[in-house]
Structure 1
Amino acid sequence: MTYTRRNVWSLKQPWPPELLWYARGVKIMKARPFSDVTSWRYQAAIHGVEEVVWRQFGWLKPTEKLPATPEFLKQDRNQCQHHSWYFLPWHRGYLAAFESMVRAAIRTLPGAPSDWALPYWNYNDATAANPRQLPEAFAKNSWPDGGDNPLFEARRFGRGDGVVVIRAIDVDLTAALSDPDYEGLPNGSPGFGGVRTPFQHNADRANEGVLEQGPHDPVHGLVGGAVQNTDPQDWRNYGLMSMPLTAALDPIFWLHHANIDRLWEVWRNRNPRFTNPVLKSWLDGPSGKQRFVLPQADGSRKSFAPKDMLDTKAAGLDYVYEDISDPLGGQQRVALRMDTLKTLMDAPATFTFAEVADVPRKPTVELLGANSKALTLGSAPSATLVKTDKPTAAKLTQSFSMASFALQAPSEPDRVFLNLENITGANDAAIFDVYVGLGEGEDPAEHPENLAGVVSLFGVGEASNLAKPHGGAGLSKVIEITATIDRLHLSGQSDLRKLPVLFVPVHCTEGVSIQRVSIYRQST
């Protein structure tokens, strides 16, 4: 049968049947020994595990060891695909296998429903009073069945005191859902789904797609957080959701990822041009020993590839979402950008820009400029200056001249990207806002139009650790600043040869280092 995953906020709060049965299934899975592939801990270890961390957090008893089977050691553990163009299809398979295990556990109980499906946490639900708050069923250690609530997790530190605060900007969908390309380009657009990669558990390159960069990463950091007034570089102070090594131990992880998976469907249905890659290297996934293989509810293992994850109603997935409507009301990236231009030009309401023609594109990416030295963030805002030479600045301004926005433009105007290269640190819970083009002394809080994006460093600890696979160089982040450059150019407020960039900490940014801040232009 086809199951329907429902928005947690469309359910009767605080304990709708879907969450009550989820809690009961989680309780059963938590009671199983670690060696059982359908146990809570085994499923979480597939996403990420490290013995010293799990022991410190109480998920391993003093005399207990990790499973020692060849399957666990060589195949099952530490599979999660992050900073990778396999991020979405791998997590879809992972989520489906987990959901089937919860469903099987539920069905061992009297009165169990036959149609249970995992709900999703829609933190952008316009009909809910506060969709970004943690649903109450997860926030309190009491539940209708008595005893400890299986959905409650003490290591959810949020802003530091246990309260989860997620701002609207942290989960804004405009950048992700309006990007027309799944596959991104190095240093240019990250694409909806990421830059081409091999199989990799975490990574040290800028391969993260726009959807993964936000809202995926910020929700992890803002829910997990770190203990208030403690060393932000000490992992022992982090919440479970803050680190890939522990994130899947928190029951809210699965509702968060159900929503990320849903947003893939939302993006794909927004526009006929928004399509998944057709390259064999993506459709067939990694080969040989690096195949995607996951334990199933019956104890068997299933090998899968991205091409098996494209239809949620296909056998082995068997689900749909309650709502995949377009939260942007049909607006596309170019149209949104043109709206900004029209506002700045104070154009009459009858003035409209034509949609960009759907023509074959061969985009190129060019470095425009960079700052002069590495930057270390602290608890106060940190600033740097990105410089370009005069000819390069002229290229940039020309691309934003009104000639580029002719009513019958034959191709899409250039896009501009801010690259934060080789970000290193131990602070997986670190989150900061990035502002571009603020004048000296200007208060960023009074200039939201200069906010380029929110950066969460989910996974930076592993990516900065030389002892880890792909580790050492840290993370890199790519933020589109096209609209900001448009605005600065047309308003004459900034010299594009000297572009100020300001980093405003949200939390846990002490000791984070950014090797280089650069600007790239992507032309079509």
Structure 2
Amino acid sequence: MVYTRRDVSTLTRSDRRRFVNALLELKRRGEYDEFVRMHIEYYVPDGETGLRAAHMAPSFLPWHRKFLLDLEGALRRVDDSVSVPYWDWTRNASATAVPWTGDLLGGTGRASDRQVMTGPFAYRNGKWTIKAGVTDTRYLTRDLGRSAKPITLPTAKDVSAALADPVYDTAPWNSTSTKGFRNKVEGWGPGRPPASWRNHNRVHRWVGGHMVGGASVNDPVFWLHHAFIDLLWSRWQRRHPGARYLPDKPPAQGDAQHGRVVARQESLPPWDVTPRELEDHSRFYRYA
């Protein structure tokens, strides 16, 4: 059955409660931490060797689409009324707006250690202990807006600049690609941080805490953020009909990216599914 993903700001009180409760149940069962471990495993920067499937590569968008679908499937096995809402950070751009409310994700971390103290995912409630991460921290952390060195969230203008590019991706198929929608929305820009952080990347930095790095899935906002990135891919496809995932064929032997990126009809690890099969989401869900 095709279901609907909605803007998080339109959720009713009951919708919020059901979404939160489904996440907490996955956490209680131990299923949620498996998603965290998977993202850590596939968070491979282009400065390392080997295949890049999840980041700094053309498959950034289909990989996270499949990742979201798997999480959503798990949530819906708990409560089939639940889907992942999207957070439009160009509109809800303050640290007190949705989704940072006490009945949804809670707010920023306290000044001393960035520990989240409000909302259902606060460590002190006993239902959200960090068990899979890159540090030993047991509590969820955030630093909304980067208090010491403030930055702003991406704007509608930033998104429009990415959506305007008619090509999906270009060589060298990594974080240095200067053209192509994928890298512009993933957000690897020229120059030095924070100016080089664009769109997707800038949001991770703005949230801070656990959202910075491979263990970012520990913060449930990860899913709302990536649902919006997925929606932007859908909007790009509608704006550029006929444009499709690139590269269509694997980089040739001798190319620096040979064996390092996934072509359109190659299997996308860890699943037996290709980017081509994930280009159309309409058989799974729609966006309101």
Q: Could you say whether these structures have the same fold, taking a TM-score greater than 0.5 normalized by the shorter chain as the test?
A: yes
The 3-state SS of whatever aligns with 1:312 is: coil
- The equivalent residue for 2:212 is 242
- The equivalent residue for 2:254 is none
The 3-state SS of whatever aligns with 1:45 is: helix
The 3-state SS of whatever aligns with 1:320 is: strand
Q: Select which of 265, 268, 276 maps to 2:237.
A: 268
Q: Select which of 118, 122, 129 maps to 2:84.
A: 118
The 3-state SS of whatever aligns with 1:217 is: helix
Q: Select which of 103, 113, 120 maps to 2:76.
A: 103
Q: Do the aligned partners of 2:66 and 2:278 also contact (CA within 8 Å) in 1?
A: yes
Instruction: Select the structure that is richer in strand.
Output: 1
Q: Does 2:171 align with 1:192? A: no
The 3-state SS of whatever aligns with 1:25 is: helix
Count of matched residue positions in the alignment of Structure 1 and Structure 2: 231
The 3-state SS of whatever aligns with 1:283 is: coil
- The equivalent residue for 2:38 is 46
Q: Select which of 195, 204, 218 maps to 1:220.
A: 204
Q: Distance in 2 between matches of 1:142 and 1:82?
A: 30
RMSD value, Cα: 3.4
Residue segments in structure 1 that go unaligned for 5+ positions in a row: 34-38, 51-77, 107-113, 194-208, 225-238, 295-302, 323-524
Q: Distance in 2 between matches of 1:313 and 1:166?
A: 33
The 3-state SS of whatever aligns with 1:139 is: coil
- The equivalent residue for 1:252 is 221
Deviation for aligned residue 1:80: 5.6
Q: Select which of 60, 67, 92 maps to 1:87.
A: 60
Q: Distance in 1 between matches of 2:157 and 2:27?
A: 30
Instruction: Calculate percent identity across the aligned residue pairs.
Output: 28
Distance 1:257 1:142, change over 3 A: closer
Structure 1, residues 52-73: CA drift from partner, whole Å, max 9, x if none? xxxxxxxxxxxxxxxxxxxxxx
Q: Select which of 266, 270, 281 maps to 1:293.
A: 270
- The equivalent residue for 2:164 is 178
Deviation for aligned residue 1:279: 1.4
- The equivalent residue for 1:363 is none
Decide which structure has the larger Cα Rg and report it.
1
TM-score (norm 1): 0.40
Deviation for aligned residue 1:49: 5.4
Q: Distance in 1 between matches of 2:129 and 2:225?
A: 13
The 3-state SS of whatever aligns with 2:270 is: strand
The 3-state SS of whatever aligns with 1:92 is: helix
Distance 1:22 1:161, change over 3 A: same
Deviation for aligned residue 1:320: 0.8
Q: Do the aligned partners of 2:217 and 2:223 also contact (CA within 8 Å) in 1?
A: yes
- The equivalent residue for 2:277 is 308
Residue segments in structure 2 that go unaligned for 5+ positions in a row: 43-50, 108-117, 131-138, 188-197, 251-262
Q: Does 2:271 align with 1:321? A: no
- The equivalent residue for 1:349 is none
Deviation for aligned residue 1:161: 5.1
Structure 1, residues 316-344: CA drift from partner, whole Å, max 9, x if none? xx11111xxxxxxxxxxxxxxxxxxxxxx
Q: Distance in 2 between matches of 1:240 and 1:80?
A: 21
Q: Distance in 1 between matches of 2:222 and 2:236?
A: 21
Q: Do the aligned partners of 1:158 and 1:223 also contact (CA within 8 Å) in 2?
A: yes
Structure 1, residues 404-458: CA drift from partner, whole Å, max 9, x if none? xxxxxxxxxxxxxxxxxxxxxxxxxxxxxxxxxxxxxxxxxxxxxxxxxxxxxxx
The 3-state SS of whatever aligns with 2:168 is: coil
- The AA in structure 1 aligned to 2:286 is V
- The AA in structure 2 aligned to 1:191 is G
Q: Do the aligned partners of 2:211 and 2:222 also contact (CA within 8 Å) in 1?
A: yes
Deviation for aligned residue 1:190: 3.0
- The AA in structure 2 aligned to 1:22 is F
